[in-house]
Amino acid sequence: MESITIADKQVALCRMKIDDGWSCSSDRPDEMIVPIFPTVYTPRNEADNIYYDAILENVKEGDKVLVVGCGSGADSWVAWTKCKTKIYVIDINEMAILNTYATANIGGFEVRPVLGDIRDMELPDDFKNFDWVLWSMPHLGERLEENNYHDGDDGSILKAFVELLPKLGGKAIIWNRKKAQKFIDLPYEIIKTNNMGSVVILIKGLT
């Protein structure tokens, strides 16, 4: 099974590598140096690998993919290694949009970005009929010491995301905490977990 390794985390970059299943002669890159811009989340091996593994196992060639909360562009790259199509992205943070542009330039793939807050934004006409919607979401119910990537206790961001999903189509893969399940009123299943209380949830039946 293919999997992502994140190593050599520094202030300004991290290295991501697809571990196995690819040969040296493949035309797909097997390693990416991802720049991390100020105010943008840094992928972490212990927290994010299960999310990247879920993308690798489910996204197929030719799929139309939307990444919400695109951050550094790391998950956009992971998705692109499978679908080989333009990646659509949304983020509330302008630095994250710029960061994803930079990662796409390094990785040689195309992105279609939109800056905005999913809780009150109007999406462009081409942001529909997705095969997959992906998001490594703000943590539900906790505040991390070194940043502010959290969704409080009421799950307002998660609830807005679930409400928006039927308009986007396809299925969704999200990373969150186990308690996030109580805010999802669409058919779903937990497809990956780790010993830190993180889960990857596949939300299905949106089309």
| 70-88 tens-digit pLDDT | 999 999 999 999 999 999 9
pLDDT of residue 157: 86
Most confident listed range (81-90, 165-174, 182-191, 195-204) = 81-90
Rounded-to-integer distance, Cα 140 and Cα 138, Å: 6
pLDDT of residue 169: 86
Q: Assess whether pLDDT exceeds 60 at residue 102.
A: yes
Model's pTM, two decimal places?
Answer: 0.85
Question: Which domains are assigned to the chain?
Answer: 43-203 (3.40.50.150)
pLDDT of residue 168: 93
The percentage of the chain sitting over the pLDDT mark of 90, rounded to a whole number, equals 50
Give per-residue burial for 183-199: e unless 16+ CB within 10 Å, then b.
bbeeebeeebeeeeebb
| Residue of 136, 105, 160 whose CA lies nearest to 40 | 136
pLDDT of residue 22: 32
pLDDT of residue 11: 46
- Answer yes or no: are the C-beta atoms of 18 and 140 closer than 8 Å: no
pLDDT digits (tens, 9 = 90+) for 178-187: 888 888 999 9
Q: Assess whether pLDDT exceeds 50 at residue 27.
A: no
Question: Which tokens in the block code for residue 52?
Answer: 């990247």
pLDDT of residue 207: 53
Mean pLDDT of 148-177: 83
| Residue of 40, 42, 13, 18 whose CA lies nearest to 29 | 18
Q: What are the Cα distances from residue 106, in Å, to 77, 99, 101, 125, 170?
A: 10, 11, 9, 28, 28
**Mean predicted lDDT score pLDDT of the chain:** 82
Between CA 190 and CA 50, with CA 179 as vertex, the angle to 5 degrees is: 40
| Cβ-proximal residues to 148 (8 Å cutoff; 6+ apart), any chain | none
Q: What are phi and psi of 156, to 5 degrees?
A: -65, -35
